[in-house]
Structure 1
Amino acid sequence: MIIIGFESSCDETGVALVCTERGLLAHALHSQIAMHREYGGVVPELASRDHIRRILPLTRAVLNQAGLPMERIDAVAYTAGPGLAGALLVGASVAQAFAWARGLPAIPIHHLEGHLLSPLLATPRPEFPFVALLVSGGHTQIMRVGGVGDYELLGETLDDAAGEAFDKSAKLLGLGYPGGPALSKLAQEGDAGRYELPRPMLHSRDLDFSFSGLKTAVLTRLRAIEKESGALDDAQRADLAAATESAIVDVLAAKAIKAVKQTGLKRLVVAGGVGANRHLRKQLIEAAARLKCEVFFPPLDLCTDNGAMIAFAAAMRVNAGLAALDSAGHAFTVRPRWDLEDICGPAAAPA
């Protein structure tokens, strides 16, 4: 079965083709970073309008890349949530129209399930069960993944996500949008030991996170430096960026390894945009080696939001018998807020 997947939950438009037997056939992605940079963050209305402009050209590009006619497609998948309501509606509308026109089933996919399963697109791929550290701009969670549709929440952030901590700290340092990658790039030039920053909830007994206080600590340190020596020079800015990255990564890595120990599992999967961070990857690989467990990451080009993870999640659900393949009705809705645990077990259209 060949499935076309549409992703439009925020500021990336993604389209991909996946075969349930052969895996990823083709994918294309458009990022809106250049457009939103002028405003210092994602503008929902502009994001929705840009999805409208991009989604059909990307669809044609993916079909041409795979060398497949439209008639070869057997099912349509789309991100139904969570995300920006207007942006989600673009992808859902196009997917449902495509499915209705061709008489195909349409499969609504949870955005975070797409991220959780995306490391299975890499080689080697992890086997179930595994611990998953899901870190993105809007989510920071630790899950026990027993299989497709079998997800148990072990811990999550109580306030800001790790990605938000990166972005907000980067803004304080005067870095451009998107802040997270800019901070990480600058951190490579700095000395993380020059400034001491807190590691929130590092030693708590649970697997939860808290990052809102870290931004305040960065601001306090920044003001102290400016009071002492005036404006930040390049070296101070790089050192504070390195200290910030180190604080965030230390907490993420410690909690992920703690989850591995508590569950007794020997496989750790990292997914989401922050999973591309070099410091986090290095620290987790080293810690996993000491524990004699395996750690897996999605391909770097599939760490951010993309259509491949949505089409692939749909293919996994089809193979597991969890996808409704009825092509009779095409009424739909989207869910800007949607708990991942709601989709455990047989799939149902979001209500």
Structure 2
Amino acid sequence: MIVLENLTKVFGSGDAETVVLKNLNFSVAEREIFAVVGQSGAGKSTLAQCVNLLERPSSGSVIVNGENLSALTEDELRNARRRIGTIFQSDGLFSRRTAAQNVALPLEYLGVTKVEIQRRVNELLERVGLSSRAHYYPHQLSGGQRQRVGIARALALRPSVLLSDEATSGLDPESTRSIVNLLKELRNDLGLSILFITHEMETVREVADSVAKLDKGHIVESGVLIDLLRDPNSELGGALRPSLSLAPTQDGETRWQLTYTSEDVPSDWVHILSTSLSSPVSLLGANIENLEGKLYGQAAVGLSGVKDQDVVREAARLKLSARRIGLDHSDAAFLTPSVEELRKSS
């Protein structure tokens, strides 16, 4: 388990002082994958370095399995770091070492016997599906395969925590899915706590249980992934949901965004909505997905001759959130009817 308490990192001092991370608070439970997203410059790389104590926090605590790593001496910290496996954006493999030799490196550093190293390396390469590539050098492996070797090496010392710092960045979609599936398997099989730092929203939807957005050193929003995806008022949830491609409306139609707010949305909601409003519903676009058996997503519909408050009320009855979409087809802003607008339309 990882717990961050009021984690702050400051570089420089006086007029040159730069606060990169400020009062970060979150936890990653056992068997949880917690994603942190943010644009370049948000502080993600510094966060990763503070979690594994390559950079000491200026204040606050990094607690792993109940032990405050930020309070340890350098000697104590060297031992504590063994409980944190790190997967880097660049695989970090040594070009003159084979896959097996790269995985063996941390074990050699600790003075583990050759017999035990061989056994552990074989076990790890089999775990990541690369037994047949044990004697290949990095240049003979694909990007996804090199990253798998990096994961095997990160697991060599049997850590309880895995830190993934942009591990899928630059990989093709197939390799990314492969790495994501492997991390989920490791989480389940080994009971790992995984902190997954990335800027790739689509990957977050595939891998994370919970997610937080880092912006200019602050956590500005966080929550359980499925809850964010179903929250029409969540900026992070909106960024995580796949975008919609919309067909044009007919003359006189208003456009509405309907967002799933529950798993209880009936499959025939279009028919039910049309019947309850006594108006045809034009489906302009939809993107409904399944997250481990839980549906989420959104649709855009065109309606005519219907009062706004009736749309909002009937959609809510179907466990959908309804918002008006701007008239401009390229307008991405969704307009919630104001009280005054509802009064005028009644």
* TM norm structure 1: 0.26
Rg larger for:
2
Greater strand proportion? 2
- Bigger RCO of structures 1 and 2 (CA < 8 A, at least 6 apart): 1
